[in-house]
Structure 1
């Protein structure tokens, strides 16, 4: 079951809707143009994890897209309603809480916003445990494009995911499971649905590194939470720029996201890469403690 709740000014706690019935106008620009934004959070142990960070990133995406969205209080009320509806019908260990806001139709000029709660995909849990094989793919633009072309909406989490999904389909056709995008000038960017994280160990010193945001990648809420926990645990932290050779030289590489959490990378373009079991165990403990 999917619990569906629309943010409706006539319903202070959100309007519960039937997820099996049509709800959106075919004129909604979220449908016709992918003109909208979203967030996906993990719901487990009766907690929507990193909710503050997801709501903050939703606001940033809305600002980048010049999109008016409901205030934070309305989102929190709708989330609470949706989670309660889901728990009453489909209790499970992990669920995905998805927040969506579109520009609505040209005719009304009023946006559409809703919350969905549904069981987390089983594939994500399997990949979290087994790891993934990854292809490096050219994203088609250089690492400075965000500064030159703000209309590309770099760093916003928009509904326009057709290219990202096409990249994943291409990888699967080649026998891989996921992708890390590389800029046309050779800089490591991000995955289609994840942030890249790598680790180094030098004696007792442990260091985490992630690509720099100046390349226009999406700021990762999970990556940010891991960095905060690692800093408290005494790890050193670093931000790119990274090139593919840095991935091959690391003691561990992960794709991190809110739903799949910490997913180890087993190989890059068919070449096995290091996987430090102790570092993975320590990082996994940090991720599991995030709320």
Structure 2
């Protein structure tokens, strides 16, 4: 077994001086690293299908944006890109035969230090067949208004940070309610996003998703979904929409880098019909991109 693969990006100050393959079974990050003690860092997860990293440039751009929002040193995208491709190359035949994930992590580094910590981790993504067949979802109040990204930018809405305690708590709450996943809703009733996904709804024949200006993460798989829909002549739109609209949607999906798209078959305990044939065909095209 080649997987998992771990490449540490060794920093001197804000600059990467080396990319070293390390044993992922051995300790590599210090206990005083602020990514561990404070969740002070950012990350990206990139799907790999047929040896191809999906939406690589979009993920790198999002890593840079997240780092900027946290005032972290700007990642050198050329170095990170090279490390990603090297990790996939080391994975060898497994990258061609299985769906993989590449996780990029950049933390503020050791408390009191001056250099960030960074690594690239390549691993088997696991079996998403169950989620791709359909998931039950509950809506949960995120506790912020939909304009929070403008009124309170220090809350870091729209950054992909390591601070996932709230997201994990929301998923546990979903499990307590007998559901698989969550759609966060703003305190003023606007659909936002999932803990690790983008919401797409088919409303009156138009594919709709929440705009990043409302503090949601810009979705890479959602962007590919929209590009596919437009190529088929369908209409797409970025706009705010309400929970009531979501409940009357012809179909709803949660989009993410690993599972690609997961059709929502139940929302707050109410069955949704969806379009299994359309989902299956779209999934094939997304996996082939």
TM-score, normalised by the number of residues in structure 1: 0.92
Residue 158 (str. 1) matches residue 157 (str. 2):
no
Which residue number corresponds to residue 171 of structure 2?
Answer: 168
Residue 126 (str. 1) matches residue 125 (str. 2):
no
Which residue number corresponds to residue 256 of structure 2?
Answer: 257
How well do the aligned residues superpose, as a CA RMSD in angstroms?
Answer: 1.9
- Check the 8 A contact 1:13/1:81 in 2, yes or no: no
Between the aligned partners of 2:284 and 2:77, the Cα distance in structure 1 is: 30
- Check the 8 A contact 1:37/1:102 in 2, yes or no: yes
Q: Deviations over 1:178-221 (max 9, x none)?
A: 000111111110000100001146xxxx4210112222111101
What's the secondary structure of 1:84's corresponding residue? helix
Question: Structure 2: which 5+ residue stretches go unaligned?
Answer: none
Q: Cα gap change, 1:106/1:12 in structure 2, threshold over 3 Å: closer, same or farther?
A: closer
What's the secondary structure of 1:85's corresponding residue? helix
Residue 191 (str. 1) matches residue 194 (str. 2):
yes
| Farther off after superposition, 274-283 or 150-159 | 274-283
Q: 1:7-46 to 2 correspondence within 5 Å?
A: 7-8=9-10, 14-46=19-51
Number of corresponding residues: 284
Q: Cα gap change, 1:96/1:102 in structure 2, threshold over 3 Å: closer, same or farther?
A: same
Residue 58 (str. 1) matches residue 60 (str. 2):
no
Between the aligned partners of 1:164 and 1:183, the Cα distance in structure 2 is: 15
Between the aligned partners of 2:220 and 2:121, the Cα distance in structure 1 is: 19
Give the C-alpha shift of residue 232 in structure 1.
Answer: 2.4
Give the C-alpha shift of residue 87 in structure 1.
Answer: 2.3
Between the aligned partners of 1:245 and 1:75, the Cα distance in structure 2 is: 42
- Check the 8 A contact 2:51/2:95 in 1, yes or no: no
Which residue number corresponds to residue 114 of structure 1?
Answer: 119
Q: Cα gap change, 1:233/1:84 in structure 2, threshold over 3 Å: closer, same or farther?
A: same
- Check the 8 A contact 2:198/2:254 in 1, yes or no: yes
Q: Deviations over 1:150-186 (max 9, x none)?
A: 1111111000011001100111111111000111111
Q: Cα gap change, 1:233/1:90 in structure 2, threshold over 3 Å: closer, same or farther?
A: closer
Residue 6 (str. 1) matches residue 8 (str. 2):
yes
Question: Structure 1: which 5+ residue stretches go unaligned?
Answer: none
- Check the 8 A contact 1:14/1:77 in 2, yes or no: no
